[in-house]
Chain A
Amino acid sequence: MIEIRDVRKSFGETDVLRGISGTFLPGKTSLVIGTSGSGKTVLMKCMVGLLQPTSGHILYNGDTDFVALDEKEKKEIRKQIGMLFQGAALFDSMTVEQNVMFPLNMFTDMSLKERLHRVDECLDRVNLKGSNKLMPSELSGGMKKRVGIARAIVMNPKFLFCDEPNSGLDPQTSILIDELVHEITEEFNITTIVNTHDMNSVIGIGDYILFLHKGEKAWEGDKHSVLKSDSQALNDFIFASKYLREIKEQLNR
């Protein structure tokens, strides 16, 4: 479980996050949604320690305040975190196998045979069996994301962060990635947090949804309540397209 309390982040005079609070539960896929520039990525970077919040608390497992930890202690928490970056962030000079194996090489004493077995397991889980020797430059966008997921789960993380996993993907592949993230979350009881502005993700896998608007929490709920919300900012975001607005009007009638 991850709990954030009154998290604030400023860059100079600009307040990017203005007191965000929320609770992300294990086994649930939590989505942080909002328009570009609403502070989603900054919030995620604060939560994983790539940025230091100006104030507030980020509690892992209910009691460990990540913000107050020193680098050494943060490092231990990070070993329980897997992260899928927007562009997958695969290491260009390594094969798929080496990319996925990298955390095992760095932090475990497993034999080569055990490591290879674990890599195969993870690649199999993301439906990329047999692509071990490919280079990242030989992969499509969706495959890169799946390798990114395999690398993120190879250490059996307790927490999984995905920063816009659907960006740059076609709708069909986006849904596959969403389903994969959702399945992995339930299967391994991971606390998963996904940054997205993809409406398919919101309606498809949003067990918990936190909507950010201009750096503030404007709404929270789940996929069942998101379409019925009274929040003007949320409705402006969700029903930005004329087509979706028409569907909503038809449903209301």
Chain B
Amino acid sequence: MFSFSFFTHFGRYLFLLKKCFVNPDKPSIYWKEVMRQCVEIGVGSLTIVIIFSVFLGAVLTVQTAYQFTTPLLSKTIIGSIVTNTAVIEMAPSVTCLILAGKIGSSIASELGTMRITEQIDALEMMGVNSATYLVLPKVVAGTIMVPLLVMIAGFLEIYMGMLVGKWTGVLTPEEFMQGSIQYFIPFTVNFAIIKATTFGFIMSSVPAYLGYYTTGGALDVGRSATRAVVASCIIILLFDYILAEILL
């Protein structure tokens, strides 16, 4: 039963994605819509990303320092751990889990409401490919904007980690930067961007699928939004592991 349900959903999900890329009527209209969604997803999520990253960076330094009580290890290693943790896991994965909650619920509830109020039917009636018009711009914007947000998150986490190290007297900015550079592996940045792009696609397309096929009433829109967040988070965690296995 579970496998039947899974394959049904997966098949419909692929069908929706295929439908998205068929017959764009007027490219200029879609371009405007993509830009609008970029602002909605990117600029709209900036505040939460900044707040989250600032505190996460600070906590990372304080907690790492707390666990390194031995004088046998150089303090610079704290900078290395904070930087690598931020780049490899915190910025791409944890930030994306937070964004999946915000962006995912927003996309699913918007499309779900449009479905139950017949707005999607109205588009289809006009001869507009509703999937291309409504879903594609969100997926494109999510795939473009999430990596940019992740880069901002990574930078802020490292920077705040360094500042908090200085303010609490744990280590100087020079020591922090020395550790960051000494053990830095450039590929981790590529890895983070690959992860963020993948997660951006997941967190926009999965909620879009669940919202687009909502049936029923207001209660079902709420259920779709909840399901979208849960499904996106689980798939993001699954792909986090798969990408780590493949790329590291």
In the complex, are the beta carbons of A89 and B121 less than 8 A apart? yes
**Does A107 reach chain B (CB closer than 8 Å)?**
yes
In the complex, are the beta carbons of B117 and A102 less than 8 A apart? no
**Bound CA span A200–B118, Å:** 26
Interface size on A, residues (CB 8 A): 21
Pick the contact of A78 from B29, B113, B125 — CB < 8 Å? B125
In the complex, are the beta carbons of B119 and A91 less than 8 A apart? yes
Interface size on B, residues (CB 8 A): 16
Interface residues of B in 100-119 (CB under 8 A from A): 113-114, 117-119
When distances are taken between beta carbons in the complex, the residues of chain A under 8 Å from B29 are 105-106
Binds B, one of A80-88, A224-232, A239-247: A80-88
With known contacts A89-B117, A89-B118, A105-B29, A83–B125 Cβ distance under 8 A? yes
**Does B151 reach chain A (CB closer than 8 Å)?**
no
In the complex, are the beta carbons of A85 and B126 less than 8 A apart? no
Pick the contact of A50 from B23, B124, B128 — CB < 8 Å? B124
Residue of A nearest to B133 (CB): A106
**Bound CA span A102–B25, Å:** 13
Pick the contact of A81 from B114, B125, B128 — CB < 8 Å? B125
**Bound CA span A87–B126, Å:** 16
**Does B127 reach chain A (CB closer than 8 Å)?**
yes
Pick the contact of A83 from B23, B25, B119, B122 — CB < 8 Å? B122
**Bound CA span A75–B128, Å:** 8
| B 5-49 binary contact with A (CB < 8 Å = 1; else 0) | 000000000000000000101100100000000000000000000
In the complex, are the beta carbons of B127 and A87 less than 8 A apart? no
When distances are taken between beta carbons in the complex, the residues of chain A under 8 Å from B124 are 50, 78
In the complex, are the beta carbons of A75 and B118 less than 8 A apart? no
Residue of B nearest to A99 (CB): B122
In the complex, are the beta carbons of B126 and A106 less than 8 A apart? yes
Interface residues of A in 82-139 (CB under 8 A from B): 83, 85-87, 89-92, 102-103, 105-107
Pick the contact of B126 from A72, A76, A78, A86 — CB < 8 Å? A78
Task: Output the residue of B29, B113, B128 with the most chain A CB within 10 A.
Answer: B128
**Bound CA span A174–B45, Å:** 44
**Bound CA span A89–B116, Å:** 9
**Bound CA span A83–B127, Å:** 11
With known contacts A50-B125, A79-B127, A87–B26 Cβ distance under 8 A? no
Residue of B nearest to A85 (CB): B118
Shortest beta-carbon contacts, A-B, top 5: A89-B122, A78-B127, A89-B118, A75-B127, A85-B118
Q: Knowing that A75-B127, A87-B117, A89-B119 are A-B contacts, what are 12 other residue pairs whose CB atoms are under 8 Å apart, sorted by A's residue number?
A: A72-B23, A78-B124, A83-B122, A83-B125, A87-B118, A89-B118, A90-B119, A91-B114, A92-B117, A105-B26, A106-B26, A107-B25
Residue contacts A-B, CB under 8 angstroms, 5 given: A72-B23, A85-B118, A89-B117, A105-B29, A106-B126
